[in-house]
């Protein structure tokens, strides 16, 4: 069942039954035929179709942003930012694809030898709810550039915006929605040609195992518990401002947010004071209200989970500096206050687990080397930030971090021009940039005597 409700008033926004397996197979057969025709187009022709889609997406970005806000619950300006970035993504690949996918002639003993990038076929994707447009397009657009088709299983709670997105995509691009129950995902992996997944590490393990069983190429974009490291020589005011923004944007429901704030002991008290002052500026309320800076969580069970993590931390020696209580008022929406935990230690669940909500975890480091050790002492390895005015030392420390990305004097984010992905429990494979376009291609060698 695909069922979504308004984040505040509980009104049903969308409802549909899952499709049968026979219906899925029918759409998959049709999609394979479309993919074959699409792959025969030149890269330039495919790019033109993508450019036209970017125009349609831009024309509808305001409407989709409102739908995301109502269905997911993020602040409207954050939803608008998602849409703007999504349009930019499509145009980036439409512009770069002819260059990135051009045949590469390589000198060998042959009279002519080349490497060409050819499609794998149909890429099956299992997508999350938190960025229902961006996450879909982030994997799909580079896959389409290469001549693949995309079959997308959305999260059950974002069916309305998914249907609206695919209406805008239309028939010019080989993309279909897989309205499948979770129980049918394994069969879908078996009968498609590759797998893209964005979501939790636990689900990623199961899907990666299924893909491995059928020898399907796959990319796993999993969770994150990004370290935000504040060295003793950091610009503390800027670090505090950035840490607050990164931790609490999107109500903390982003894999790439700052989640573990690791501050060297010599500046801890000053930094924490500045950080709490920034957190005090946050305003909880209706995500459609432009004054709101802290939106509700997407679902009740998500709020219950993060609250259980907070309670566990307090039982195991952490202290709460702000928040930490489920609101008692009858205000609609699954709100949770901006919460700051100090003196978090190894016994606390939040030390090891991803916290997918507005809870900042503060850990105190004895010095710079200890800060790096604390950052690496975690199952996840998506991204990290280092704040220091000594750039040379910052780059040295950055090389020691076990992550897919390091940002120096900036909070973690994603850039279209740079690869996005992680290591350890944050998964494998890369999206975005030139590296993202090569994940779902057959890198094929040609040799002519």
| Residues annotated as part of the active site | 221, 255
The DSSP line for 29-54 is: HHHHHHHHHHHTS-HHHHHHHHHHHH
Q: Are strands 112-119 and 104-105 parallel, antiparallel or unpaired?
A: antiparallel
Q: How many CB atoms lie within 10 A of CB 234?
A: 22
Give me the residues paired with residue 442 across strands: 118
Could you tell me which of 203, 225, 211, 251 has the C-alpha nearest to residue 76? 251
Q: Are strands 441-448 and 112-119 parallel, antiparallel or unpaired?
A: antiparallel
CA distance 449 to 110: 5
**CB hemisphere CA count around 434 (13 angstroms):** 7
Could you tell me which of 173, 174, 181, 172 has the C-alpha nearest to residue 154? 181
CA triplet 225, 229, 250: central angle to 5 degrees?
A: 45
With residue 152 as reference, give the H or E element that holds it: strand 149-153
Please enumerate in sequence order all residues whose Cβ is within 8 A of that of 428, keeping only pairs 6 or more positions apart, or say none: 219, 220, 421, 422
Please enumerate in sequence order all residues whose Cβ is within 8 A of that of 259, keeping only pairs 6 or more positions apart, or say none: 224, 225, 226, 227, 228, 247, 252, 354, 355, 360, 361
Could you tell me which of 203, 221, 121 has the C-alpha nearest to residue 431? 221
By CB atoms closer than 10 A (0-12, 13-18, 19+), residue 325 is exposed
Q: How many CB atoms lie within 10 A of CB 192?
A: 24
CA distance 32 to 121: 7
């Amino acid at each position: 069942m695909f069922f979504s409700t308004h984040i505040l008033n509980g009104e049903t926004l969308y409802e549909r039954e899952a499709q049968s397996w026979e219906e899925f197979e029918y759409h998959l057969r049709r999609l394979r035929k479309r993919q074959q025709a699409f792959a025969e187009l030149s890269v330039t022709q495919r790019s033109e179709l993508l450019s036209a889609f970017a125009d349609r997406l831009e024309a509808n970005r305001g409407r989709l942003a409102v739908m995301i806000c109502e269905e997911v619950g993020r602040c409207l300006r954050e939803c608008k930012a998602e849409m703007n970035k999504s349009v930019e993504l499509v145009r980036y690949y439409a512009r770069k694809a002819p260059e990135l996918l051009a045949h590469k002639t390589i000198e060998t003993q042959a009279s002519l030898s080349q490497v060409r990038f050819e499609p794998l076929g149909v890429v099956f994707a299992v997508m999350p709810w938190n960025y229902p447009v961006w996450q879909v397009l982030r994997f799909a657009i580079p896959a389409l550039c290469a001549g693949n088709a995309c079959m997308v299983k959305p999260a059950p709670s974002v069916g309305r915006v998914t249907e609206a997105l695919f209406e805008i995509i239309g028939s010019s691009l080989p993309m279909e929605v897989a309205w499948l129950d979770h129980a049918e995902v394994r069969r879908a992996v078996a009968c498609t040609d590759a797998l893209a997944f964005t979501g939790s590490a636990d689900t990623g393990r199961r899907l990666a195992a299924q893909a491995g069983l059928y020898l399907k190429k796959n990319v796993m974009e999993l969770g994150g518990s990004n370290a935000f490291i504040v060295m003793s020589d950091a610009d503390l005011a800027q670090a505090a401002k950035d840490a607050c923004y990164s931790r609490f944007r999107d109500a903390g429901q982003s894999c790439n947010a700052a989640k573990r704030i690791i501050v060297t002991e010599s500046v801890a008290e000053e930094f924490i004071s500045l950080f709490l002052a920034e957190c005090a500026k946050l305003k909880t309320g209706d995500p459609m209200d432009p004054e709101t800076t802290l939106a509700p969580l997407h679902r009740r069970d998500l709020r219950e989970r993060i609250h259980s993590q907070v309670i566990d931390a307090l039982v195991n020696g952490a202290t709460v500096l702000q928040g930490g209580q489920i609101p008692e008022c009858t205000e609609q929406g699954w709100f949770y206050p901006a919460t700051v935990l100090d003196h978090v230690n190894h016994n606390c669940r939040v030390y090891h687990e991803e916290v997918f909500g507005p809870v900042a975890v503060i850990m105190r480091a004895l010095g710079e080397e200890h800060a790096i050790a604390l950052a690496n002492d975690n199952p996840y390895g998506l991204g990290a930030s280092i704040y220091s005015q000594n750039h040379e030392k910052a780059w040295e420390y950055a090389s020691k971090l076990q992550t897919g990305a390091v940002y120096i004097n900036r909070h973690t984010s994603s850039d279209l021009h740079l690869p996005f992905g992680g290591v350890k429990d944050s998964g494998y494979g890369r999206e975005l940039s030139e590296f993202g376009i090569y994940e779902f291609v057959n890198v094929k060698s040609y040799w002519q005597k």
